[in-house]
C-alpha cells in the first residue's frame, strides 16, 4: 500500500468538503505526490485556465513514502498552474506538514474555486472543516502558525500558510510550513492567496499504517540510510555546510551568476559561503550558524538554523529578529547575494528571514532585485522611481526592497511582479534572467552547459531541481561529465529529469540522489506499496510524468520558442574563470534533446512516444 487511499476535495466557493477514494489505477501509473497530483490536475483543469481565477485548482499532495521511516520521507508537494509561469507548477517542501497530513489519513487535498472570504482549513484526522480566517488575514506566516496552534490548544498541530506576499498578489509568493520550509517556486502561494485560503492546519493521529511488508520495508529503509551516511556529500558535506557547501565550489568554476549574470564569479563569494557561516564574528565572537536541522525523517539534515548579529544595521532595534531562524541555504545566499553583488552575510540572512516570514521565494525575489539594479545602472529606473539609490552591491537597497515587496509598498509592488513582467514594463524584457518567466537559480549556463538545457526545458520554468546535472558536471555523480561541453548533455538531462520525477513522486527528497539512485529507492517502494515496482517500471513512470507535464504546457500555449535562454547567455561570453569566452550552447543542445525525448523538432511528443508511455 503506502497510500491512505483517501483524498479530500474542498470546494472553496460553496464550502463543501468531500472524502473520495484514491484512483488506484492512477496511483499505479503515477506513484504519488508530483506524478499523481499532476495526473489529477491535468484531468480536471483546462490548460488555458487563468492561474489566479477560481477555475484553477490547487493540490497539496503526499507520496507513498511520506510519513514512513524512509529517510527524508516527509515531503509534500503543491501542484497547480503557476501564477508566475502560466505553466504546470509543482513545488516541493519538507518540514513536518506532509507527514502530518498522511498521519491524519489523507493522501492529498484538492482545493477548487474561491472562497468568498478568508478561510483556513482545519484537519484533525477525519474532522475537516473550513474556518473563518478574518483574524489571520494580514498576518505573517510566523504569526499565523502561532495563532492557530494557540487557538487549537495543540502545539503538535502542523501548519502551512501564505504570508502577506500571497495575500497581496506578489507573483512569486510561496506556501510556508513549519516556519521555514517552503513550497517555494512558481507562485503557488499567489494561487492560494487568490482563493482566499490563508492556511491549512493539520493534526493526524492515525499514522502511516499501510505498509505492504513492514519487515522488508524496515530492512530496505535501513540499508538506504546507510548509503546516505557513508556518502561524502550526504554523510558529511551537507550536514556540516548545508547546500552552502557549493558557494565556493561553484564560484571557482566560474559558474556563479553575478550582478544579473553580467559576471560569472563573485569577488565576495567567500564572505557569504557555508564556511563563513562557521566562522566567529568579530562583533560578538559567535558563529552565524547555530545548528543544522532535519526535516521529518531526514537522516541528512542539510537545513541551516542561524542567528543574525544583534548589532547589524538590519536588526539593531528589532529583537524579534534576534532568535534562531532558518537559513541561509545556497540558492538564497546566491539570489540575495551574488546576483545583486551583495557580500553582507547578515543582511542576506535578514532578507531570507523576511522571505520566510511573509512567504516569498528568495530566488525570484533576489533575481528580480538584480534586474532592477541593472535597470538602475542603465539609467532606466531612476532613484526617484525606486525611491532610493539601488546600485549593485547595496545591502541597504536589498533590505529596503525586501521590506516593501510583500506589503506592496512603493516600488516593492513592481518587484512583486517578478523580473519578466517588471523588465517588460520598462522595455527591457531581455534583462529578465529566467525561462518561462521564472528566474534562474544559482548556476550559470555558460560554465555548466547541462544546466542551460535543464533550465530551458524545465516544465515549471527555470529550475535546478528538475534535472540537477550539477551532480554529474561538478561533483561526478553518478559519473563525471565535462561542464564546458554540450556533447552528451541531452541524454544526461533526460536521464536526470525522468529519475527526479520518480523521487518527487515518492515522498522522499531529491537531495538523497547525491547518494541514491533509483536502485536504492526501488526496494523501499516495492516493500511499502502494493503492486509491482521494478527499475524498469519506475524509469518509464518518470518519463511518463515528464511527458504528461509537457503535454499540458503545450496545450497551455508553450512552444519550442519558450525552451530558450535570455540572449545574454547566448551572446555575452563568460568574462573570467574556466568558462572564460564561452556562451551557452542551448541552440545546439535543444534539437538533440527533442530527438532523445522522442519529440518533433517543434518540441511536441510524437504519437509513438505518447503511446509507448501509455499517455
Partner 1 sequence: MQKSLHIDPNKCTGCLQCEMACSFENHGVFNISKSRIKVFSFEHAGRKVPYTCTQCAEAWCLNACPVDAIRIDAGTGAKVVHEDVCVGCKVCTIACPFGTVNYVADSGKVQKCDLCGGEPACADACPTGAITYVEANWTGLDKMRAWAGKTDTQPRAA
- Least distance to partner 1, CB of residue 322, Å: 9
Among 42, 130, 219, 290, binds partner 1 (CB under 8 A): 290
Task: Determine if 206 is a binding residue for partner 1 (CB under 8 A).
Answer: yes
Among 151, 287, 292, 609, binds partner 1 (CB under 8 A): 292
- Least distance to partner 1, CB of residue 337, Å: 22
Please say whether the beta carbons of 167 and 189 come within 8 A. Answer: no
Task: Determine if 68 is a binding residue for partner 1 (CB under 8 A).
Answer: yes
> Whole-angstrom Cα distance, residue 349 to residue 7?
38
Comparing CA positions, the residue from 275, 246, 257 lying closest to residue 471 is 246
Among 205, 236, 559, 571, binds partner 1 (CB under 8 A): 205
* CB nearer partner 1, residue 205 or residue 606: 205
Among 13, 44, 48, 209, binds partner 1 (CB under 8 A): 209
Task: Determine if 365 is a binding residue for partner 1 (CB under 8 A).
Answer: no
Task: Determine if 345 is a binding residue for partner 1 (CB under 8 A).
Answer: no
> Whole-angstrom Cα distance, residue 236 to residue 234?
6
DSSP state of 43: H
The piece of 200-208, 342-350, 432-440, 515-523 that touches partner 1 (CB under 8 A) is 200-208
> Whole-angstrom Cα distance, residue 378 to residue 372?
10
Task: Determine if 324 is a binding residue for partner 1 (CB under 8 A).
Answer: yes
Among 207, 391, 601, 614, binds partner 1 (CB under 8 A): 207
Task: Determine if 96 is a binding residue for partner 1 (CB under 8 A).
Answer: yes
Task: Determine if 307 is a binding residue for partner 1 (CB under 8 A).
Answer: yes
DSSP state of 54: T
Handedness of CA 548, 525, 60, 324 (dihedral sign): negative
- Least distance to partner 1, CB of residue 324, Å: 3
**Backbone dihedral angles phi then psi of residue 368, each to the nearest 5 degrees:** -70, -40
* CB nearer partner 1, residue 96 or residue 468: 96
Task: Determine if 296 is a binding residue for partner 1 (CB under 8 A).
Answer: yes
Task: Determine if 299 is a binding residue for partner 1 (CB under 8 A).
Answer: yes
Among 294, 424, 539, 596, binds partner 1 (CB under 8 A): 294
- Which residues lie below 8 Å from residue 193, measured CB to CB, with a gap of 6+? 162, 166, 167, 168, 169, 173
Please say whether the beta carbons of 560 and 428 come within 8 A. Answer: no
For the chain, the distance separating the N- and C-terminal CA atoms, rounded to the nearest angstrom, is 24
Task: Determine if 615 is a binding residue for partner 1 (CB under 8 A).
Answer: no
Task: Determine if 53 is a binding residue for partner 1 (CB under 8 A).
Answer: no
- Least distance to partner 1, CB of residue 202, Å: 12
- For the record, the C-alpha cell of 38 comes out as 499532476
- Least distance to partner 1, CB of residue 345, Å: 17
By the 10 Å C-beta count (0-12 exposed, 13-18 middle, 19+ buried), 611 is classed as exposed
Among 62, 231, 244, 293, binds partner 1 (CB under 8 A): 293
Among 103, 241, 455, 496, binds partner 1 (CB under 8 A): 103
Name which of residues 573 to 612 contact partner 1 (CB under 8 A).
none
Please say whether the beta carbons of 252 and 577 come within 8 A. Answer: yes
Size of the site for partner 1 (CB under 8 A): 39
> Whole-angstrom Cα distance, residue 607 to residue 592?
19
Among 297, 327, 343, 366, binds partner 1 (CB under 8 A): 297
Handedness of CA 564, 568, 569, 571 (dihedral sign): positive
What is the DSSP code string of 142-201?
A: HHHHHHHHHHTT-TT-EEEE--HHHHTT-TTB-EEETTTEEE-STTHHHHHHHTTEEEEE
Comparing CA positions, the residue from 440, 466, 442 lying closest to residue 565 is 440
Please say whether the beta carbons of 91 and 190 come within 8 A. Answer: no
- Least distance to partner 1, CB of residue 359, Å: 17
Among 34, 181, 225, 590, binds partner 1 (CB under 8 A): 225
The piece of 249-257, 296-304, 462-470, 484-492 that touches partner 1 (CB under 8 A) is 296-304
Among 27, 183, 188, 298, binds partner 1 (CB under 8 A): 298
Q: Which residues pair with 293 in a beta bridge?
A: 303
Task: Determine if 404 is a binding residue for partner 1 (CB under 8 A).
Answer: no
Comparing CA positions, the residue from 238, 268, 466 lying closest to residue 330 is 238
Please say whether the beta carbons of 479 and 101 come within 8 A. Answer: no
- Least distance to partner 1, CB of residue 296, Å: 6
Please say whether the beta carbons of 181 and 329 come within 8 A. Answer: no
* CB nearer partner 1, residue 243 or residue 368: 243
Among 17, 55, 147, 218, binds partner 1 (CB under 8 A): 218
- Least distance to partner 1, CB of residue 146, Å: 10
Comparing CA positions, the residue from 282, 408, 406 lying closest to residue 351 is 406
Among 69, 110, 173, 510, binds partner 1 (CB under 8 A): 69
> Whole-angstrom Cα distance, residue 346 to residue 372?
22
- For the record, the C-alpha cell of 174 comes out as 510561496
* CB nearer partner 1, residue 96 or residue 365: 96
> Whole-angstrom Cα distance, residue 485 to residue 481?
9
Task: Determine if 98 is a binding residue for partner 1 (CB under 8 A).
Answer: no
Name which of residues 137 to 196 contact partner 1 (CB under 8 A).
156, 179
State the residues that interact with partner 1 by CB under 8 A. 67-69, 71, 96, 99, 103, 156, 179, 204-209, 211, 214, 218, 225, 229, 239, 290-299, 301, 303, 305-307, 323-325
Amino acid at each position: 500500500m503506502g497510500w491512505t487511499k483517501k483524498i479530500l476535495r474542498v470546494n472553496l466557493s460553496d464550502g463543501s468538503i468531500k472524502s473520495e477514494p484514491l484512483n488506484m489505477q492512477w496511483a499505479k501509473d503515477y506513484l504519488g505526490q508530483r506524478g499523481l497530483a499532476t495526473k489529477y490536475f491535468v484531468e480536471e483543469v483546462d490548460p488555458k485556465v487563468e492561474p489566479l481565477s477560481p477555475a484553477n485548482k490547487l493540490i497539496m499532495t503526499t507520496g507513498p513514502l511520506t510519513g514512513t521511516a524512509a529517510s527524508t520521507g516527509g515531503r509534500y508537494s503543491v501542484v497547480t498552474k503557476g501564477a508566475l509561469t502560466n505553466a504546470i507548477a509543482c513545488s516541493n517542501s519538507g518540514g513536518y506538514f506532509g507527514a502530518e497530513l498522511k498521519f491524519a489519513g489523507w493522501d492529498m487535498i484538492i482545493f477548487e474555486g474561491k472562497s468568498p472570504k478568508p478561510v483556513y482549513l482545519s484537519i484533525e484526522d477525519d474532522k475537516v472543516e473550513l474556518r473563518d480566517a478574518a483574524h489571520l488575514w494580514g498576518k505573517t506566516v510566523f504569526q499565523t502558525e502561532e495563532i492557530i496552534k494557540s487557538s487549537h490548544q495543540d502545539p503538535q498541530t502542523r501548519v502551512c500558510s501564505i504570508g502577506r506576499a500571497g495575500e497581496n498578489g506578489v507573483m512569486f509568493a510561496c506556501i510556508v510550513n513549519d516556519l521555514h520550509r517552503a513550497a517555494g517556486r512558481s507562485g503557488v502561494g499567489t494561487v492560494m492567496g487568490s482563493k482566499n485560503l490563508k492556511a491549512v492546519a493539520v493534526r493526524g493521529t492515525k499514522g502511516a499504517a499501510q505498509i505492504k511488508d513492514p519487515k522488508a520495508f524496515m530492512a530496505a529503509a535501513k540499508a538506504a540510510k546507510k548509503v546516505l551516511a557513508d556518502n561524502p556529500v550526504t554523510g558529511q558535506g551537507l550536514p556540516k555546510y548545508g547546500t552552502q557547501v557549493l558557494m565556493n565550489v561553484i564560484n571557482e568554476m566560474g559558474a556563479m551568476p553575478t550582478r544579473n549574470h553580467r559576471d560569472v564569479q563573485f569577488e565576495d563569494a567567500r564572505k557569504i559561503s557555508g564556511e563563513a557561516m562557521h566562522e566567529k564574528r568579530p562583533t560578538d565572537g559567535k558563529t552565524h550558524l547555530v545548528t543544522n536541522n532535519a526535516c521529518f525523517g531526514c537522516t541528512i539534515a542539510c537545513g541551516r538554523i542561524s542567528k543574525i548579529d544583534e548589532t547589524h544595521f538590519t536588526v539593531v532595534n528589532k529583537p524579534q529578529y534576534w532568535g534562531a531562524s532558518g537559513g541561509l541555504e545556497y540558492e538564497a545566499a546566491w539570489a540575495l547575494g551574488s546576483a545583486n553583488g551583495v557580500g553582507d552575510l547578515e543582511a542576506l540572512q535578514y532578507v531570507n528571514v523576511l522571505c520566510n516570514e511573509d512567504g516569498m521565494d528568495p530566488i525570484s525575489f533576489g533575481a528580480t532585485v538584480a534586474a532592477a539594479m541593472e535597470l538602475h545602472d542603465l539609467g532606466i529606473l531612476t532613484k526617484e522611481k525606486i525611491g532610493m539609490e539601488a546600485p549593485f552591491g547595496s545591502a541597504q537597497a536589498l533590505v529596503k526592497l525586501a521590506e516593501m515587496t510583500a506589503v506592496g509598498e512603493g516600488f516593492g509592488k513592481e518587484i512583486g511582479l517578478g523580473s519578466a513582467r517588471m523588465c517588460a514594463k520598462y522595455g527591457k524584457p531581455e534583462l529578465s534572467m529566467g525561462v518561462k518567466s521564472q528566474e534562474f537559480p544559482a548556476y550559470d549556463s555558460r560554465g555548466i552547459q547541462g544546466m542551460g538545457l535543464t533550465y530551458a526545458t524545465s516544465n515549471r520554468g527555470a529550475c535546478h531541481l528538475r534535472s540537477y546535472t550539477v551532480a554529474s558536471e561538478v561533483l561526478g555523480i553518478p559519473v563525471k561529465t565535462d561542464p564546458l561541453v554540450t556533447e552528451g548533455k541531452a541524454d544526461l538531462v533526460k536521464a536526470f529529469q525522468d529519475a527526479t520525477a520518480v523521487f518527487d513522486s515518492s515522498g522522499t527528497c531529491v537531495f538523497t540522489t547525491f547518494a541514491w539512485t533509483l536502485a536504492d529507492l526501488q526496494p523501499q517502494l516495492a516493500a511499502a506499496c502494493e503492486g509491482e515496482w521494478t527499475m524498469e517500471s519506475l524509469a518509464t513512470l518518470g518519463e511518463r510524468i515528464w511527458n504528461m507535464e509537457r503535454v499540458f504546457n503545450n496545450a497551455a500555449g508553450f512552444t519550442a520558442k519558450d525552451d530558450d535562454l535570455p540572449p545574454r547567455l547566448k551572446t555575452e561570453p563568460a568574462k573570467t574563470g574556466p568558462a572564460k569566452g564561452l556562451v551557452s550552447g542551448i541552440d545546439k543542445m535543444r534539437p538533440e534533446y527533442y530527438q532523445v525525448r522522442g519529440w518533433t523538432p517543434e518540441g511536441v511528443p510524437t504519437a509513438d512516444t505518447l503511446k509507448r508511455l501509455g499517455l
